[in-house]
A and B are shown apart, each in its own frame.
Chain A
Amino acid sequence: MRTRLVTAAWLWVLPAFVLLGVFLVYPVVNTVYLSFFSGRDMSTFVGLDNYVYLVTHPETITVFRNNLLWLVLFTATTVALGLLLAVLSNQVRYEALAKAIIFIPMAVSFTAAAVIWRFMYIFRPPQFEQTGVVNAAFTALGFDPIPWITNPSVNNYALIAAGIWMWTGFALVVISAGLKGISAEVLEAARVDGANEIQIFWHVILPMLRSVLVVVAVTLIINSLKVFDLVYVMTFGNFATDVLANRMFKEMFTFGNFGRASAVAVVLLLAIVPMMLSNVRRFRRE
Chain B
Amino acid sequence: MARVLFDHVTKRFGEFTALRDFNLEIADKEFLVLVGPSGCGKSTALRMLAGLEDITEGSIFIEERRVNGVPAKDRDIAMVFQSYALYPHMTVYDNIAFGLRLRRMPKDEMDPKVKEAASILGVDTLLDRKPGQLSGGQRQRVAVARAIVREPKVFLLDEPLSNLDAKLRVHTRAEISKLHQRLGTTFVYVTHDQVEAMTMADRIAVMNEGIIQQVGSPQKLYDEPVNVFVAGFIGSPSMNFFEAEVVENGEGVRLEGEGFVVDVPDDRADDVRGFLGRRMVFGVRPENIHDKDYVPAGITAAPTAVKVDVTEPMGNEVFLHLMAGDTKLLARVDPRTAMRAGDRVEVVIDMERMHIFDPETKESALS
List the interface of chain A (C-beta within 8 A of B): 183, 185-186, 188-196, 199, 203-204, 207-208, 210
Contact = CB atoms under 8 A, between A and B. Distances in A.
Contacts of A203: 98
Nearest to B52: A188
B99 A194 contact: yes
B78 A192 contact: yes
Given A185-B81, A186-B87, A208-B87, 8 more contacts: A185-B82, A191-B51, A192-B78, A193-B98, A193-B99, A204-B87, A207-B87, A208-B89
Interface stretch (B5-13, B69-77, B212-220): B69-77
A35 B44 CA distance: 70
Contacts of A193: 73, 78, 98-99, 102, 146, 150
B79 interface: yes
25 contacts: A185-B81, A186-B87, A188-B50, A188-B85, A189-B79, A189-B87, A190-B98, A191-B71, A191-B72, A191-B73, A192-B51, A192-B72, A192-B77, A193-B99, A193-B146, A194-B73, A194-B102, A194-B150, A195-B98, A195-B102, A196-B73, A199-B102, A203-B98, A204-B87, A207-B89
B83 interface: yes
Interface string B91-119: 00000001100110000000000000000
A185 B83 contact: yes
Nearest to A196: B73
Contacts of B78: 192-193
B39 interface: no
Interface string B181-204: 000000000000000000000000
A213 B297 CA distance: 74
B296 interface: no
Most chain B CB within 10 A, of A183, A191, A192, A210, is at A192
B88 interface: yes
Nearest to A188: B52
A199 B73 CA distance: 12
Enumerate the 7 nearest inter-chain pairs by beta-carbon distance, A residue then B residue, closest first: A185-B85, A189-B85, A193-B99, A207-B89, A194-B73, A191-B72, A194-B102
Interface residues of B, number: 24
A84 to B, nearest CB: 21
A64 B19 CA distance: 65
A16 to B, nearest CB: 36
A189 B99 CA distance: 10
B258 to A, nearest CB: 48
A186 B87 CA distance: 7
B149 to A, nearest CB: 10
A196 B102 CA distance: 9
A132 B136 CA distance: 61
Contacts, number: 64
A167 to B, nearest CB: 27
Contacts of B52: 188, 191-192
B73 A195 contact: yes
Nearest to A195: B102
B100 to A, nearest CB: 9
Contact of A190 (B71, B87, B88): B87
Contacts of B79: 188-189, 192
Given A207-B89, A210-B89, A194 B103 contact: yes
A122 to B, nearest CB: 48
A158 B90 CA distance: 41
Nearest to A189: B85
A285 to B, nearest CB: 13
Contacts of B103: 194
A185 B52 CA distance: 10
A191 B98 CA distance: 11
Nearest to B156: A192
Contacts of A195: 73, 98, 102
Contacts of B73: 191-196
Nearest to B47: A188
Interface in B230-252: none
Contacts of A210: 89
Nearest to B50: A192
Nearest to B146: A193
Contacts of B77: 192
Nearest to A211: B89
A132 B311 CA distance: 87
A195 B102 CA distance: 6
Given A188-B52, A203-B98, A207-B89, A183 B72 contact: no
A196 B86 CA distance: 17
Nearest to B82: A185
B261 to A, nearest CB: 54
A204 B85 CA distance: 11
Contacts of A196: 71, 73
